């Protein structure tokens, strides 16, 4: 795969550009603040529809510009596709080969990129949420259909947690509350199993790559390990539903007054599993050096 042509207009401090990269290796040289990272971000955004610097894609729109437009013509396996994204305050338009993309999962899979930044140190030393985001991006690259799966999971999760919030406010209780939670939990559980299975499979693939890369770089013969640890005990949809029901029952038994205020009984994909890594069975976050700190 290679980028044949990259176009950008209205992106941060970049002048309108049409870049034709060399096939194998490109070096961008310039003083600080001249746009080298902005150029890399431009490539990353048109490939992944997200930034490695900001959660708001509208931040890429240059000061005074109405919108930012990025396009890339990509060659892969003797096929050529054109990826385009237009950004403005509060809007995003995505096209593949000149056409709107529905479902959005069709956009992914043919234009894969990897970026290395100083923030990558957070994979080992940062919070589990950093590693979960990294794992999500990895699964998206390996399985384009994972996007739709994750979106379905998040949708049902929001609906279930909305019911819990209503219960916490005292507007839902009793049989109605139990029936609504049962509906959403039976939808949520199989999606949770599928999400966890995809994550675990991707993590296993990354573990093999991690071992080889770590040894090639360090030549220490030390054992490095990547783990994917599930919080709950359930590994099937029925077991997950049982865990959620049992959790509510335990809280209600301890304090029956909480039966109308169950918003504390929640679940999310971010608390379902924790990816982590260790060196000689010691946590990388606690034991590994970050190298020379910036002055």
Structure confidence by residue, pLDDT tens digits, 237-251: 888 888 888 877 776
Per the CB < 8 A criterion, the answer to whether 96 and 81 are in contact is yes
Spatial distance between the Cα atoms of 65 and 147, rounded to a whole number of angstroms: 31
Question: What's 78-102 look like in SS3?
Answer: CEEEEEEEEEECCEEEEEECCEECC
Domain parsing of the chain, residue ranges: 2-107, 120-287
- Exposed, middle or buried: residue 175 (CB in 10 Å: 0-12, 13-18, 19+)? exposed
Spatial distance between the Cα atoms of 30 and 118, rounded to a whole number of angstroms: 18
Tokens of 76: 């892969």
Regions of the chain short of the pLDDT cut 70: 229-234, 251-295
For 106, other C-beta atoms within 10 Å of its C-beta total 15
> May I ask the CATH class of domain 120-287?
mainly alpha
Alpha-helical regions (H) of the chain: 36-48, 122-125, 128-142, 146-168, 174-218, 237-254, 284-287
Spatial distance between the Cα atoms of 53 and 37, rounded to a whole number of angstroms: 10
Separation of CA 66 from chain center? 28
pLDDT at residue 146 in the model: 85
Spatial distance between the Cα atoms of 283 and 92, rounded to a whole number of angstroms: 40
Sign of CA dihedral 95, 97, 103, 109: negative
pLDDT at residue 132 in the model: 75
CATH fold group of domain 2-107: Rossmann fold (3.40.50)
Spatial distance between the Cα atoms of 176 and 182, rounded to a whole number of angstroms: 10
């Amino acid at each position: 795969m290679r980028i044949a042509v990259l176009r950008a207009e209205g992106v941060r401090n970049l002048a309108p550009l049409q870049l034709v990269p060399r096939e194998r290796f490109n070096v961008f040289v310039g003083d600080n603040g001249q746009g080298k990272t902005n150029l890399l971000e431009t490539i990353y955004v048109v490939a992944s529809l997200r930034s490695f610097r900001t959660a708001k894609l509208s931040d890429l729109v240059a000061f005074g510009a109405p919108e930012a437009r990025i396009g890339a013509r990509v060659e892969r396996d003797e096929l050529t596709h054109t990826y385009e994204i237009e950004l403005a305050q509060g809007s995003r338009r995505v096209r593949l080969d000149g056409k709107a993309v529905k479902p959005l999962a069709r956009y992914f899979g043919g234009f894969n990129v990897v970026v290395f930044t100083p923030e990558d140190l957070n994979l080992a030393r940062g919070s589990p949420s950093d590693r979960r985001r990294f794992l999500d991006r990895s699964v998206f690259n390996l399985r384009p259909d994972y996007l739709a799966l994750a979106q379905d999971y998040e949708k049902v999760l929001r609906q279930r947690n909305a019911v819990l919030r209503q219960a916490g406010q005292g507007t839902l209780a009793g049989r109605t509350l139990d029936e609504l939670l049962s509906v959403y939990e039976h939808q949520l559980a199989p999606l949770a199993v599928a999400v966890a299975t995809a994550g675990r499979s991707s993590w296993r693939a990354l573990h093999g790559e991690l071992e080889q890369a770590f040894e090639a770089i360090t030549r220490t013969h030390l054992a490095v390990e990547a783990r994917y640890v599930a919080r709950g005990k359930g590994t099937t949809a029925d077991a997950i539903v049982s865990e959620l029901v049992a959790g509510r029952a335990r809280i209600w038994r301890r304090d029956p007054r909480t039966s109308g205020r169950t918003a504390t009984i929640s679940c999310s994909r971010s608390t379902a599993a924790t990816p982590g890594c260790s060196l000689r069975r010691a946590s990388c976050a606690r034991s590994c050096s970050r190298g020379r700190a910036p002055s």
